[in-house]
Amino acid sequence: MPQQQPQPSPTPPRKKKIRVPRVVNGIDTMVEIEVDDVAGPGWGPNDKHTLLNHAYTRVDAPLKVSGAAHYTYDVRLPGMLYGRILGCPHAHARIKKFDASKASTMPGVKAIVQTPLTEFRFAGSPVAAVAATTPELAQDAARAIVVDYEVLPHVVRARDAIKPEAPEVLARDTRKPDEKNLRFAAKAGDPQKVEAALAASDAIVEAEYYTPRIHHACLETHGMVVDYSGGDSATIYATTQGTFTIPKDAADTLGLKESAVTATVQHMGGGFGSKFGIGIEGMLACKLSRATKTPVKLMMNRYDEFVMAGNRSGSWQKLKAGVKNDGTLTAVRATQYRLGGVGGGSQAGQPYAVYRAGEFYREVYALHTNEDSSIAMRAPGHPQASFAMESLLDELAYKIGMDPVAFRKKNMRDEVYHRQLDRGAREINWAKRNTKAGAGAGPLKRGIGCGAGTWGGGGNDQCKVEVTVGRDGSVLVAVGTQDLGTGTRTYTRAIVAEELGLQIRDVVEQIGNSKLGGANPSGGSTTAASLSPSVKDAAIKTRLALAEKIAPLLGNPKPEEIAFAGGNVSAGEKSLSWKQACASLPAAGLTAHGVWRQDLQSRGVHGVCFAEVEVDVETGKVRPIKIVQVQDGGLPLNRLTMESQLNGGMIQSLGMAFWEERVMDAHLGMQLNPGFGDYKLPGSLEMPEFVPLIDDDDKREVVIGIAEACIIPSLGALANAVFNACGVRVRELPITPDKILSVLMSERRTA
Amino acid sequence: MSDEPKKKTSRYDPSRRKFLKGVGVAGAGAALADSLLNRDVSAAKSKLNAPGDPISGSVNIALDINGQKRNATVEPRTTLLSTMRDRLEPGITGPKLVCDMGTCGACTVLMDGKPVYSCLVLAVDAVGKKLTTVEGLGTPENMNAVQRAFVAQDALMCGFCTPGFVTTISAYLKKNSNPTLDEVREACKGNFCRCGTYPRVFEAALAAAKAGVNG
């Protein structure tokens, strides 16, 4: 395995100014930026690639389909112990007594450690962990630990927590002693101008929208295997979205130097924003390993995964908006509560960034409950805000009798959305939709709705890539990045293969190890835009270095004039096969180092969705029929995996729309559905037709990440489709049959 | 750890775990399983011949997995899933532990050709059955038609649900070699995916059916 060599400081490169497309305040703009003047060739036109921007299969697929891919959960080491977490059963409690005396003498038990907390603020909060020789014995021992708690009052429902008399979830902030569970976070805009604009509007809609806590539900739970036997180094097998987010904290807990700890992740079973750093589970695993000087595997069980591994914060949004009869959005006023449990939660500020309102004012608060802290989940804060905004816009459009697509176009910041809306509308056949919501004899009624999203997706300079060409013609590209199932391994090979005129199978990649070149964690949809420019840079340098070496064999052309294509290397009349060219290399082959090139990536993507649903107005059941999503992303590195990402975004959005929610028992303070039996994930019987469309009208010759963009626009589209179908506006997710029926039945009673 | 069967006069403890830990019942095929059940244990246990006799403590069993005889030492309560993943040496880790309670299908294996959730099968009940995991359906170098179709259609992303789906669909196509899309969806309803591969899983199943399933 290549060791990361310290690089000598280079002389600072010359700078030059270039103009690149950026999204500024939501508008596509050409801006001037300064870059190093060593850039070199770009990607070239998006439609001129031989591998990139085509559909090619994943290089790790054969391993995964045959059970040969090894995940953290699959790791087995000699003498390895199994870890198990003990959680607090109460929603709010203090430890009075912790007695592990019986547990520690049980068969197979090798260590018991406590977390440093003495006060617990959610049911399931980790108290201790056990290491034993089998999973069953670890479970037995955890149950045998006796803990006396002083049980304290709790509150788990937002509507209860906001009341002044509610039990307090957190300790008071001494800087703001008047705030209890409702804590001010931010405000923006001008409230007086908003009131004036509302007063001058032709129509107003005021409504409250609510989205519950949603779970990542990664199939591979959180956890790690700590390969440590009491020596001066350790290897951590981590199911993580960030190879390099592991070593330091693991080393600190093990009492080792950071450089003595290697993190490795070859495949991981889902993250969706939840897996950065070692977490409490990793800290406990390291403590157990350190105490026993033995390898420890601690993977959360499914109950722990639901109650303590984090989730998407809920939202409670009070919106009021005004509109002119010509469709101009005059004002938006918002009071936004972020429901993040003991954490602050996240929520994009209203009005949602796709749209512009004449005037706006928002106040944002965190509203705390005795639940584990929400954490990042695919496009944090965006689906929540988008759902409310798209519903509100739809309500305004219907109120003034304007087509919802035309209404959106009138109020969008960026004209790119117009062409995406047109394409999506054609694909779903928007023209056939009922203009009167709920029209039709029933009982099965169909409707169509739309929504739009926005995301950044730009990169950073953390990726350091190494390409090595062997004398035997082998090509190795190495970087410590991670592949979450996003296809990172595959495009990493493809970029190099295309540059060198080879097939994907001619290149081998090495990733997921902290001893390889650095890489950023896969968060914020930053991976592709951080990694691909560095891979391309390494590939270009490899090509030019090899070209320089073999130029004498081709009649001494300039290196940049030598063509690498179809497995051959040629200039003018002379040609060598790839293998012949490489045979002239020295024994150590050739190595090139790639660094980030800012000009090969950008930030700022759009995205629209059109959804068709069928509502049975007798049962209230909603059946999704078809979802069309149009997504831009600059240069698509791999069309096959990009389409799969779009499908994934649409499906997770379906879950949020119709089935998924954390249900808490107000009295017990516990989650009632911490398992897949009662937390309903989208399943095969619920799948509609999906139409993932890559927006090829986006000609930007840059790579931009879309992993989060593609989960945003569908939620509003689905909610709006339900309204169009049956005339019922459900403002509280998930849209379940009871919510539709209760409105329909009360309408029938009053009719 | 005592290998003695629990005395009938022991203190009554209604907890399910203690019951399962203390006393298990040999599987229905125990008479057949005698030839597979290694009985190098205490003399008291050597009287365990008839089906329905209790077993407890630690049991040595042999399982027929992917055409190989594999030995393991298990507790009566140890699941087939945990046995394959945690106790066999080397382990069989294609089937995944995701929910451990029969709600997701990631642990799907074939037992005498039929898909079962291995987290809901006790290892001692799998004795005498012909077990097939995803590894037994094909290797990276020699995939079956379903696996090849999964690769071609991109019916996977993180891959953690994939062994379960491949196993379920491989068995289903043997039962119904020319299914409709609705039949495929029905067959897959016991397998969950979080990344969102369903539409391409269905396409892969239909493509594999067209190509003809082998193995």
C-alpha closest to that of A533 among A590, A455, A475, A479: A479
For B196, the closest of A135, A301, A651 (CB atoms) is A651
Residue scoring higher pLDDT (A232 or B18): A232
Give the number of other Cβ atoms within 10 Å of residue A69's Cβ: 25
Q: What is the pLDDT of residues A53-73, one digit of tens each?
A: 999 999 999 999 999 999 999
Backbone φ and ψ of A738, nearest 5° = -60, -35
Q: Do B200 and A269 touch (CB under 8 A)?
A: no
Counted residue by residue, chain A has a size of 751
Q: What is the pLDDT of residues B198-212, one digit of tens each?
A: 999 999 999 999 998
Contact A81, A298 (CB under 8 A): no
Q: B88: Cβ–Cβ under 8 A, 6 or more apart, which residues?
A: B65, B70, B72
The reported pLDDT for the residue numbered B57 is: 85
The reported pLDDT for the residue numbered B40 is: 39
Q: What residues of chain A, 661 to 680, have a C-beta less than 8 Å from chain B?
A: 675-677
C-alpha distances out from residue B41 to A44, A214, B3, Å: 72, 50, 8
Q: Does B179 touch chain A (CB under 8 A)?
A: no
Q: What residues of chain A, 451 to 510, have a C-beta less than 8 Å from chain B?
A: 484-487
**pLDDT of B36 above 60:** no
Q: Does A200 touch chain B (CB under 8 A)?
A: no
Chain B positions touching A135 (Cβ under 8 A) are 82, 86
Residue scoring higher pLDDT (B30 or A365): A365
- The verdict on ipTM greater than 0.90 is yes
d(CA A224, CA A247): 12
Q: What is the pLDDT of residues A690-733, one digit of tens each?
A: 999 999 999 999 999 999 999 999 999 999 999 999 999 999 99
For A74, the closest of B78, B93, B104 (CB atoms) is B93
Q: Does B168 touch chain A (CB under 8 A)?
A: no
- Using pLDDT thresholds of 50, 70 and 90, give the confidence band for residue B54: confident
Alpha-carbon distance A661 to nearest alpha carbon in chain B (angstroms): 15
Chain A positions touching B99 (Cβ under 8 A) are 302, 675-676
Alpha-carbon distance B52 to nearest alpha carbon in chain A (angstroms): 24
Alpha-carbon distance A650 to nearest alpha carbon in chain B (angstroms): 8
Q: What is the pLDDT of residues A450-479, one digit of tens each?
A: 999 999 999 999 999 999 999 999 999 999
Q: Do A67 and B154 touch (CB under 8 A)?
A: no
Contact A246, A263 (CB under 8 A): yes
The reported pLDDT for the residue numbered B27 is: 42
The first and second tokens of residue B154, run together, are 């991109």
C-alpha closest to that of B190 among B138, B123, B114: B114
Say which amino acid occupies B103. Answer: T
Q: A254: Cβ–Cβ under 8 A, 6 or more apart, which residues?
A: A226, A228, A234, A261, A286, A289, A290
The reported pLDDT for the residue numbered A20 is: 66
Chain A positions touching B82 (Cβ under 8 A) are 135-136
**pLDDT of B2 above 60:** no
Alpha-carbon distance A655 to nearest alpha carbon in chain B (angstroms): 10
Element (H, E) at A227: strand A223-227
Q: Does A572 touch chain B (CB under 8 A)?
A: no
The reported pLDDT for the residue numbered A11 is: 56
Q: What residues of chain A, 601 to 660, have a C-beta less than 8 Å from chain B?
A: 640-641, 643-645, 647-652
Radius of gyration in angstroms for the set of CA atoms belonging to chain B, rounded to a whole number:
19
Residue scoring higher pLDDT (A39 or B6): A39
Kindly report which listed range (A38-47, A276-285, A622-631, A734-743) carries the lowest average pLDDT score: A38-47
Alpha-carbon distance B209 to nearest alpha carbon in chain A (angstroms): 17
Chain A, nearest residue to B90 by Cα: A76
d(CA A736, CA A713): 20
The reported pLDDT for the residue numbered A33 is: 76
Chain B positions touching A653 (Cβ under 8 A) are none
**pLDDT of B142 above 50:** yes
**pLDDT of B170 above 90:** yes
d(CA A433, CA A592): 57
**pLDDT of A34 above 60:** yes
Share of chain A above pLDDT 90, in %: 94
For A681, the closest of B17, B138, B194 (CB atoms) is B194
The reported pLDDT for the residue numbered B211 is: 93
C-alpha closest to that of A295 among A111, A139, A451: A111
The reported pLDDT for the residue numbered B212 is: 85
Residue scoring higher pLDDT (A676 or B17): A676
C-alpha closest to that of A401 among A425, A436, A361, A351: A436
The reported pLDDT for the residue numbered A571 is: 97
Alpha-helical segments (H) within A612-665: 639-658
Q: Do B195 and A270 touch (CB under 8 A)?
A: yes
Q: Does B164 touch chain A (CB under 8 A)?
A: no
Tell me which of B98, B117, B191, B200 to substitute to probe the interface with A (most A C-beta atoms closer than 10 Å): B98
Chain A, nearest residue to B192 by Cα: A683
Q: Work out whether the CA dihedral A568, A569, A571, A576 comes out positive or negative.
A: negative
- Using pLDDT thresholds of 50, 70 and 90, give the confidence band for residue A4: very low
Q: Does B166 touch chain A (CB under 8 A)?
A: yes
- Using pLDDT thresholds of 50, 70 and 90, give the confidence band for residue B29: very low
C-alpha closest to that of A621 among A515, A477, A734: A734
What value does the mean pLDDT of chain A take? 95
DSSP designation for A260: G
**pLDDT of B162 above 50:** yes
- Name A339's bridge partners: A314
Alpha-carbon distance B124 to nearest alpha carbon in chain A (angstroms): 16
Once rounded to an integer, what is the mean pLDDT over residues A64-90?
A: 98
d(CA A94, CA A88): 10
- Using pLDDT thresholds of 50, 70 and 90, give the confidence band for residue A410: very high
Say which amino acid occupies A706. Answer: I
The reported pLDDT for the residue numbered B17 is: 46
Chain A positions touching B160 (Cβ under 8 A) are 71, 218-220, 269-270
Q: What is the pLDDT of residues A588-614, one digit of tens each?
A: 999 999 999 999 999 999 999 999 999
Q: Does B97 touch chain A (CB under 8 A)?
A: yes
Contact A370, A341 (CB under 8 A): yes
Q: Do B154 and A643 touch (CB under 8 A)?
A: yes
State chain B's maximal CA–CA distance in angstroms. 62
The reported pLDDT for the residue numbered A31 is: 74
Q: Do A68 and B189 touch (CB under 8 A)?
A: no
Q: What residues of chain B, 1 to 60, have a C-beta less than 8 Å from chain A?
A: 1, 17, 21
**pLDDT of A309 above 80:** yes
Kindly report which listed range (A24-28, A134-138, A744-748) carries the lowest average pLDDT score: A24-28
